[in-house]
Structure 1
Amino acid sequence: MIEPLPASPSSRSGWRRQRDRLATVLIMAGGIGVIVAVLAIGVFLLMEVLPALLGGSLDSARIRLTLTPMAWGTLKAAFWAMAFAIPLALGAAIHSAMFMSQRLRSRMKPTLEMMEALPGVVIGFVAGLVLAPWVERHLAGSLALLLILPLGVLLAAAVWRRLPSAGRRRLPLAWAGVWLVPWLALLAALGLTLSPGVEALLFGGDLRVWLDAELGLDYATRNAMIVGLAMGFAVMPSVYALAEDALSGVPGRLGEGAHALGATRWQTLWRVVLPAAAPGIFAAVMIGAGRAVGETMIVLMASGNTALISLSPFEGMRTMAAGIAVELPEAVPGSEAYRLLLLAALLLFGFTFLVNTLAEVVRSRLRRRYRWLGGSP
């Protein structure tokens, strides 16, 4: 039997070059296709909206009456979501990248990143049908938790700093994410147990009635606070993953040099590591804000979809994305309602585009500014 001749090195290298060229062409085509699709969406919206605006078929008073509450609701929902997500996500990223042990980090980081795969409709369902009624029944306890848990973390940090060396070895900072859990659970249980007595003593037994009578704040079951908690939970994994990667990418020699010059761990973090990772952290925050602005199902199921202009976190709102999702299927093509919804989509598209462009410009400037630190996060 005649054995086939082995392929020559030149033929193998030629096949590899052809394969690399094919992969390059496919990747380039995919990137160009995404850009063309995004531009096509913008062009379509412009072609649908501009003739109506220039021709006067859209009344300016109707535009203000329809779009102003939705624009306000979009910004309000994004604000409360980021107010909840940014401190937790950045705090977790700093602790994971700088202080957590490698063994614990290898387990915690993939778990937190997997949270990003949760569908928004599932989070919205839980927020609207489980979280919102529970918070309504335990309003005083819920507000107490928002105050007690951050103070509990600060108290634990202050106590840890004053522990003797033996106590710090038993409670290492690298495992703070584990030994803080029972402490925070104890504080949460105490807060929920004592909140009814405090509510009866200070607010006449019903905090909702007191807020309405004394402060003029009407509490809705589905409100901005519920949206902030639910949407912040959805945004937090992406902000954490990107910020943690940026912090982990800072060259270790920078921190070692700061320690060699006498800097403490916190001084190294604030004056060396965070400035070096600032471009990546900024990009993480802006990407999270972009998702919060464009989120649809969570806001639709947890906000009540009420067109209100209010600063109160206890009242609902209507966002542009949720309004489009609800009303566009029933709008008659070519009607005034249809064009108003397309105008809202155009504004949402333009806002997201401008935010992402601004984020990229600022990130590039920050990267050039901190390039002297020796890393490119």
Structure 2
Amino acid sequence: MTHSIKTSQQPITSIISSSQSHVAAVADAAGQIALTYVTNDTLLGTTQVELDADIDSLTIGPDGEILLASTPGQTALTSFDIGHPEASLKGYFGKVWYEAHDEPKYIWQSSAATEESEIKLSLMPLVFGTMKATLYAMLISVPLAIFAAIYTSEFLSPKARNRVKPVVEMMASLPSVVLGYVAALVVAPHLEAHLMTVLLSLLVVPCMLVLSGHLWGLLPGQLLIRLQSWRLALMFVTLPVSALVAYGLSGPVESWLFSSDLVGWLGSEDGSSFGGWMLLLVPACALIASFLLSGPLSVWIRTYASRSKPRAFAVFSIVRYFAVAAAVLLIASAIAAALSGAGMDLRGSLFDTYQDKNALLVGFALGFCVIPIIYTIADDALQAVPRQLRSASLGCGATPWQTTMRVVVPSAMSGLFSAVMIGLGRAVGETMVVLCAAGNTPLMEWNIFNGFKTLSAALATELPEAAKGSTHFRTLFLAALVLFVLTLIANTLAELVRIRFRKRASQL
């Protein structure tokens, strides 16, 4: 380990370091003494000592604030106010090479077992943890909340909507500390025991809902009209069926990809990396296929639909669905086999050792907190779109789905975006859920199966115990300021985007 100490251009005559505070003093031939905090190479100050000869000996106090300079016939005593040497831009936001580490790192370690150990106050692990918690929570909450709002606003009967919306809004009244403890004490053990089932459910549930929609088109027209009021109930029936399908597939899939032990595979370097690549590539290929079907290929599909009878098109849609599913699996398997054969492994980066309190658990719990907020604001934004626009679109021959996606959603985009950003602010500042379910380990890894520590959790747990006026105490206030700035930047950008969406919607 090497450190750079800033001095003048004169030759160095003496150098010494303190025993506790990691401060080094350097004297040169001109009688100037420079004090440096060697951990982050910060120059704390300089002083000029008037002696008749070059300084050949330095003595420094344990805390680095008292310094004795000596020559063969003279001595001089001087003092420094080193303040808070750990507090610097590099110390907070840059990599620092600490003792007993083989390279510079971002580390948050606000306490130590011995007085000789130095505290490590990099804010980057806390900022990273905040972003990680927000990312996984938004990935789970935004699609569910937005599509739920679209469904209840545009496709559900007013009577059913008036029953569903208050129930969803009541979810926001649940205390976050209760959700956090339920996640940590009840959900976490079951999540570890049925991890493969949960991961498969994230893919199987939307696929089963899409398949159910295609099967719905096979029903006779008169029966479809009679069952319109039962669509929501039938959709809820699909959810437990999907969960049972995922549970039934979990055993064979885990045996095929992970030698019947996904948690063990994550914590070892043995076994093929094929399974890890499949976890990543199957959803990615499915998203690409969905984009192609709704984008470049949608014109051909609409042309075929206009020339076909409803039942024939429903059969075509089902055949297309299974063909695309088979193609997604084949393409993902081929790419995964190639990457695995090349020796590439996601373990150690995106996947790693499984911890019971992890980002996936926080995503579910924190997403549950955010969904009611996003749903309520999104539903109100959709309801605010004038009915005349819907009537005009339907009168021109558009289907209800086309009217929703091409008229209603673009008109309400500013409100939908505001809903997402308010949910983002809620997720960024959440404390109790991440405090209970995230593990409070300040790691900087994208691994979805390990824990992290957020800015808000650090404030909640460490501020009551921090010594008033200490570097740690002051750093926590800086962490609060960083959290405020992050939220302010996100809200400012959101407002600019919202204004742009509103201008575009006003042209409709």
Q: What TM-score, normalized to structure 1?
A: 0.81
Match of 2:232 among 177, 190, 206: 177
Match of 2:171 among 101, 110, 115: 115
Tell me what 2:429 maps to: 294
Match of 1:105 among 114, 137, 161: 161
Tell me what 1:125 maps to: 181
Aligned CA distance change for structure 1 residues 330 and 272 (closer, same or farther; 3 Å):
same
Question: Could you tell me how far apart the structure 2 residues matched to 1:347 and 1:162 are?
Answer: 56
Describe the SS at the equivalent of 2:468: coil
Does structure 1 residue 58 correspond to structure 2 residue 113? no
Matches for 1:297-376 after TM superposition, within 5 Å: 297-373=432-508
Question: Could you tell me how far apart the structure 2 residues matched to 1:277 and 1:194 are?
Answer: 40
Aligned residue pairs total 319
Does structure 1 residue 68 correspond to structure 2 residue 120? no
Contact kept? 2:455, 2:479, Cα under 8 Å:
yes
Does structure 1 residue 151 correspond to structure 2 residue 226? no
Question: Could you tell me how far apart the structure 2 residues matched to 1:221 and 1:177 are?
Answer: 35
Contact kept? 1:171, 1:179, Cα under 8 Å:
no
Tell me what 1:27 maps to: none
What is the deviation of 1:194? 3.9
Contact kept? 1:239, 1:284, Cα under 8 Å:
yes
Question: Could you tell me how far apart the structure 1 residues matched to 2:470 and 2:247 are?
Answer: 52
Tell me what 2:192 maps to: 136
What is the deviation of 1:357? 2.2
Contact kept? 2:84, 2:471, Cα under 8 Å:
no
- Letter aligned with residue 92 of structure 1: A
What is the deviation of 1:56? 6.3
Does structure 1 residue 199 correspond to structure 2 residue 254? yes
Question: Could you tell me how far apart the structure 2 residues matched to 1:354 and 1:191 are?
Answer: 40
Does structure 1 residue 232 correspond to structure 2 residue 288? no
Describe the SS at the equivalent of 2:439: coil
Describe the SS at the equivalent of 1:58: coil
Matches for 1:249-260 after TM superposition, within 5 Å: 249-260=384-395
Match of 2:402 among 252, 262, 267: 267
Tell me what 2:354 maps to: 219
- Letter aligned with residue 144 of structure 1: L
Tell me what 1:189 maps to: 244
Q: What TM-score, normalized to structure 2?
A: 0.60
Question: Could you tell me how far apart the structure 1 residues matched to 2:260 and 2:488 are?
Answer: 48
Match of 1:96 among 152, 156, 162: 152
Render the CA deviation track for 1:315-369: whole Å, top value 9, x for unaligned: 1111100111111111112111111111110010111122222222322232222
Contact kept? 1:100, 1:175, Cα under 8 Å:
no
Contact kept? 1:222, 1:316, Cα under 8 Å:
yes
Contact kept? 1:104, 1:175, Cα under 8 Å:
no
What is the deviation of 1:102? 1.1
Contact kept? 1:227, 1:299, Cα under 8 Å:
yes
Describe the SS at the equivalent of 1:329: coil
What is the deviation of 1:78? 0.2
Structure 1 gap ranges (5+): 1-53
Question: Could you tell me how far apart the structure 2 residues matched to 1:371 and 1:133 are?
Answer: 50
Contact kept? 1:307, 1:318, Cα under 8 Å:
yes
Question: Could you tell me how far apart the structure 2 residues matched to 1:171 and 1:73 are?
Answer: 47
Question: Could you tell me how far apart the structure 2 residues matched to 1:322 and 1:168 are?
Answer: 51
Contact kept? 1:132, 1:221, Cα under 8 Å:
yes
Render the CA deviation track for 1:128-178: whole Å, top value 9, x for unaligned: 111111100111111111111111111111211333213322432x54321
Question: Could you tell me how far apart the structure 2 residues matched to 1:356 and 1:147 are?
Answer: 32
Question: Could you tell me how far apart the structure 1 residues matched to 2:502 and 2:223 are?
Answer: 41
Question: Could you tell me how far apart the structure 2 residues matched to 1:122 and 1:193 are?
Answer: 31
Contact kept? 2:138, 2:424, Cα under 8 Å:
yes
Contact kept? 1:69, 1:309, Cα under 8 Å:
yes
Render the CA deviation track for 1:35-70: whole Å, top value 9, x for unaligned: xxxxxxxxxxxxxxxxxxx99661334313321111
Tell me what 1:210 maps to: 265
Contact kept? 2:153, 2:382, Cα under 8 Å:
yes
Describe the SS at the equivalent of 1:259: helix
Question: Could you tell me how far apart the structure 1 residues matched to 2:507 and 2:497 are?
Answer: 17
Render the CA deviation track for 1:223-262: whole Å, top value 9, x for unaligned: 0000001000110001000000000110011011011112
Render the CA deviation track for 1:109-128: whole Å, top value 9, x for unaligned: 11111111111101101111
Tell me what 2:40 maps to: none
Question: Could you tell me how far apart the structure 2 residues matched to 1:355 and 1:198 are?
Answer: 40
Match of 2:139 among 70, 77, 83: 83
Aligned CA distance change for structure 1 residues 251 and 200 (closer, same or farther; 3 Å):
same
Larger CA Rg, structure 1 vs 2: 2
Matches for 1:26-37 after TM superposition, within 5 Å: none
Question: Could you tell me how far apart the structure 1 residues matched to 2:501 and 2:471 are?
Answer: 45
- Letter aligned with residue 148 of structure 2: A
Structure scoring higher RCO (CA < 8 A, sep ≥ 6) equals 1
Describe the SS at the equivalent of 2:464: helix
**Identical aligned residues as a percent:** 45
Question: Could you tell me how far apart the structure 1 residues matched to 2:185 and 2:446 are?
Answer: 24
Structure 2 gap ranges (5+): 1-82, 94-105, 107-121, 274-345
Contact kept? 2:133, 2:359, Cα under 8 Å:
yes
